[in-house]
Structure 1
Amino acid sequence: MATAPGVRVRRVPDRPVTRLGPGTRPGDHPPPGGAAVDTVPVTETGRPMPRGSVSRTAKLASLPLGAAGRATLGIGKRMSGRSSAEVSAELQQRTAEQLFAVLGQLKGGAMKLGQTLSVFEAAVPEEMAGPYREALVKLQEAAPPMPVRTVHGVLAQQLGSSWRQRFREFDDAPSAAASIGQVHRATWRDGRDVAVKIQYPGAATALIADLNQLGRFARLFAAFMPGMDIKPLVEELKARVIEELDYGMEADSQRAFAAAFAGDEQIVVPRIVASAPKVIVSEWLDGLPLAKIIASGTREQRDRAGLLMGVFHFSAPQRAGLLHADPHPGNFRLTADDRLGVIDFGATARLPEGLPEPIGRLLRWSLAGRAESVLADLRTEGFVRPEVQVDAEAVLDYLRPLMEPVATRHFHFTRAWMQAQALRLGDPRTEASKLGRQLNLPPNYLMIHRVTMGSIGVLCQLDAAGDYRGVIEEWLPGFAD
């Protein structure tokens, strides 16, 4: 294969690939627009299901079968004299191990769901979380890579047949991979180190097929996420698929974030160098991934990364009119100059007016103990439906523990704190859970709520401490008097 003069392409051995269609061979370039793969079953709409989707579906279908087999095994072990508690603990561990082993092998929606769930790992009791915490971390930045020739084919399709002339050097080995694409390190023609994000061919089909299947297996997740309803999360992920697949929209979002934080002393966003519908080229960002800080970071690194996450979460809507909506550790770095580096802008919420002012006002009134004012505003914003009758003081008692991170000048996010909140709100026997089922989450607050909860999950994984009240005083409309 010819290479432009002066351009070095670092090659890795070709990997076996799925046959692209009649008359093609493993490793052949896909034609423009993609190629129809050989098929076996059909989808619910009657269209052929790609072989890759068939493989994913088979793996996902193995989950309930495996759970049933373990349940049968459990009955046998009980009969052999083992206690119910011992058997239940073993079954939970084996179910979790199989679940994350399957998710870890998949791209598409299964990978996306695994990454999303990983930020809530801190809410899981330690005796359950321990066996698969390492698997959750791996989900955040790992996925099977595309064959090299497929990578080159996508680049030729998206950047033109002379795509090599845009780079001085291109590394064929991916540096990172995730749910719908993978990243390669390269050197742009002007000498800048860049990250080249390439979308997997057929990513849309894989995402929809996987999420449809995972929605049917939602009950399995109760084994390790007590109190969490997975179905609404899956439905929300499906609703975001189109946006995340649109790399043009993602590039525009990243440009807006990069402009808003240009020259900032706390936050850095890489600038876009070039973009196409299935490829994004942006400046390379070095730094220590949050996953490594979670695993082995110093106290200073944990506190610094956590506080800057808070700054980014609350300031971005005010400065960029956007909310970064994918808060898992793989999307953040702590740079050598102690700034928070942010990548991956496929999921964003558009907030041109910034965060809604009632959020800050409700926080302020809750901390001041103004129960009737809190309830009145909750009704106005749609959190309490007109026909629902609840006690104002009970509502305040429900909210107060959630206000602890901003009630004082110093708060320490821990797994124990998050587990306590998850148990209080998720256990159907608690008064808080009973009250929570009477409340409503308005659609315009859904994304803000999920991103905030996800960010808190990461802060608890980090074990971060700091002055989070000071952050919202500066950036949250309605909180300061």
Structure 2
Amino acid sequence: MSDLPRKAVTRTAKLAALPLGFAGRATWGLGKRIGGRSAELVAREVQQRTADQLFKTLGELKGGAMKLGQALSVFESALPEEVAGPYRAALTKLQEAAPPLPAHTVHAVLAERIGEDWRDCFLEFEDKPSAAASIGQVHRGVWHDGREVAVKVQYPGAGEALLSDLAQLSRFARLLGPLVPGMDIKPLIKEMRDRVAEELDYELEARSQREHAAEFADDPDVVIPGVVHQGDQVLVTEWIDGIPLADVIADGTKEQRDRAGQLLARFLFSGPARTGLLHADPHPGNFRLLPPAAEAEESNPDGSDTPDGSGDPGGSGAPGLLSKEGASAGAWRLGVLDFGTVDRLPGGLPGTIGGSLRMTLEGNAAAVYGLLREEGFVKESVDLEPDEVLDYLLPIIEPAQVEEFTFSRGWLRDQAARIADPRSPAHQLGRQLNLPPSYLLIHRVTLSTIGVLCQLGAAVRLRDELEAWLPGFVPEAERPAEGPEEAEEAGEADG
């Protein structure tokens, strides 16, 4: 069977070979250095070979292996440019594609989960997938009522594969550490393991997507496709056309990259405030940049495809839109896909985050330190200097200090280097801070979103979004009665 490698022994063998390969390349590199090659040049070659093997294996295995690869891919901006260059193509490829399941396997899943007459549900169904991801792949079709749809089919054995992969990967997590300086990979893998059941539950995913779709139904900036049909291992949603964010990162205009960045930041903070849910899988493969609604309608009255005929909701690119003339870049919208991983935050993001950010900007070291200690970020057994904690935090929140901040790979590399260097005071202090479990997913999503903003090189008015949507950032006495609704109007004006 040529589909998802399910036998634990096969998958474990492929993953177990990775650390051996890393060690082999280190030995090869030592030999090269002895032979007279410069250490810097040899290190670069070793890392390139490591990246080639790592992401080739992760992509082939799908499951938890590929999921980790996608999670790591948003952090490539933190790598030194001479190292990131060879990584970038492999990382970006993981964000959008993986070897697909053969058609006969997909048909078998549909027959088992929808019924032997599954074809009666569709006027059209494309056997070639438009996208393949970590636990499933997406096919384009036309539902029996004429709506264009994206049909998400879960890989057979995906749950077993996820758990097996993540258990194996956690055994050599420290070897993956150099891929993302300053980030501990092991908690990331543990959190993924803890959420496997949610990821596989398409009923839960459909519920989360319906809640988002209902809340954002009339939103001028964010588009959430509606759920058409949900079954065990099969999820059918409305198809949306647009440019994959990876294509915007690679080829988008400055206006498109800035607009995508602004809307990504807006969705990160407005989503929890409006739905009580945090979309927790913010890699570029889950976002699309859509043209203005009226323009899309005019260029595409039958709704069947994008203006250049390369439509794509949940899958491949629509590069023709990147150079489409006459488009008002400020009015582009953000399409959001894949609600398999969400964090449930009934009250929105914790007020502690907004409060501590505000007090850090105000330079109130004692108040920041007291709040962090109260929430468990500083353990009772640890004593730190409040001013040193403030010095540690200030560079991180630099984007909120100004009216508009341009995110860049260079800025993120500087932050990563500052925290990763064992000799730096920031590294020493960071080791003494604690991340409470309830903040783990919020922390990862925020870091991942910042990683994508840096890939975009977007100029973003982050402070506007924090003031509109983040509880505690604006003191209640100063917050307008309408709050987020006013921000929405501002968003329309911004468009």
* Fold shared per TM-score above 0.5: yes
Which of 221, 224, 227 aligns to 1:269? It is 224
Corresponding position: 1:120 with 2:120: no
Distance of 1:255 and 1:324 partners within structure 2 = 13
Corresponding position: 1:171 with 2:126: yes
Which of 17, 39, 52 aligns to 2:2? It is 17
Q: Displacement, 1:129?
A: 0.6
Which of 190, 198, 205 aligns to 2:153? It is 198
Q: Which residue of 1 aligns with 2:417?
A: 423
One-letter code aligned to 1:351: L
Q: Which residue of 1 aligns with 2:282?
A: 327
- Equivalent residue runs for 1:210-225 within 5 Å: 210-225=165-180
Q: Which runs of 5+ in 1 are unaligned?
A: 1-15, 19-36, 38-49
Give secondary structure in 2 for the equivalent of 1:256. helix
Corresponding position: 1:473 with 2:458: no
Q: Displacement, 1:90?
A: 1.9
Q: Displacement, 1:66?
A: 1.9
User: Under a length normalisation based on structure 1, what TM-score does the superposition of the two structures give?
Assistant: 0.88
Aligned residues: 436
Distance of 1:51 and 1:305 partners within structure 2 = 38
Q: Is the 8 Å Cα contact of residues 73 and 91 (structure 2) preserved in structure 1?
A: yes
Q: Is the 8 Å Cα contact of residues 376 and 436 (structure 2) preserved in structure 1?
A: yes
Percent identical: 62
Higher mean alpha-carbon deviation, 63-72 vs 315-324, is at 63-72
Q: Is the 8 Å Cα contact of residues 6 and 160 (structure 2) preserved in structure 1?
A: no
Cα displacement string for residues 428-467 of structure 1 (whole angstroms, at most 9, x for unaligned residues): 2110111111111111111111111110000000100021
Give secondary structure in 2 for the equivalent of 1:227. coil
Q: Which residue of 2 aligns with 1:5?
A: none
Corresponding position: 1:382 with 2:337: no
Corresponding position: 1:371 with 2:365: yes
Q: Which residue of 1 aligns with 2:408?
A: 414
Cα displacement string for residues 267-313 of structure 1 (whole angstroms, at most 9, x for unaligned residues): 01000000012110000011001000111110001000000001101
Q: Which residue of 2 aligns with 1:30?
A: none
Q: Is the 8 Å Cα contact of residues 129 and 224 (structure 1) preserved in structure 2?
A: no
Q: Is the 8 Å Cα contact of residues 196 and 281 (structure 1) preserved in structure 2?
A: yes
Distance of 2:277 and 2:372 partners within structure 1 = 24
Corresponding position: 1:238 with 2:186: no
Q: Which residue of 2 aligns with 1:24?
A: none
- Equivalent residue runs for 1:4-153 within 5 Å: 17=2, 52-153=7-108
One-letter code aligned to 1:186: G
Higher mean alpha-carbon deviation, 214-223 vs 326-335, is at 214-223
One-letter code aligned to 2:110: L
Q: Displacement, 1:419?
A: 0.6
Q: Which runs of 5+ in 2 are unaligned?
A: 293-331, 476-495
Distance of 2:426 and 2:374 partners within structure 1 = 22
Distance of 2:103 and 2:268 partners within structure 1 = 37
Higher mean alpha-carbon deviation, 332-341 vs 72-81, is at 72-81
Cα displacement string for residues 126-162 of structure 1 (whole angstroms, at most 9, x for unaligned residues): 1111112000000011112112111111111111222
Distance of 1:413 and 1:51 partners within structure 2 = 41
RMSD (Å) for aligned C-alpha atoms? 1.4
Which of 345, 356, 361 aligns to 2:350? It is 356
One-letter code aligned to 1:401: P
- Equivalent residue runs for 1:398-413 within 5 Å: 398-413=392-407
Q: Displacement, 1:85?
A: 2.8
- Equivalent residue runs for 1:309-320 within 5 Å: 309-320=264-275
User: Under a length normalisation based on structure 2, what TM-score does the superposition of the two structures give?
Assistant: 0.86
Distance of 1:55 and 1:281 partners within structure 2 = 32
Distance of 1:200 and 1:153 partners within structure 2 = 11
Q: Displacement, 1:51?
A: 5.3
Distance of 1:426 and 1:71 partners within structure 2 = 21
Q: Displacement, 1:364?
A: 0.8
Q: Displacement, 1:426?
A: 1.5
Distance of 2:20 and 2:368 partners within structure 1 = 48
Q: Is the 8 Å Cα contact of residues 317 and 351 (structure 1) preserved in structure 2?
A: yes
Q: Which residue of 1 aligns with 2:261?
A: 306
Which of 395, 415, 429 aligns to 1:435? It is 429
Distance of 2:225 and 2:63 partners within structure 1 = 25
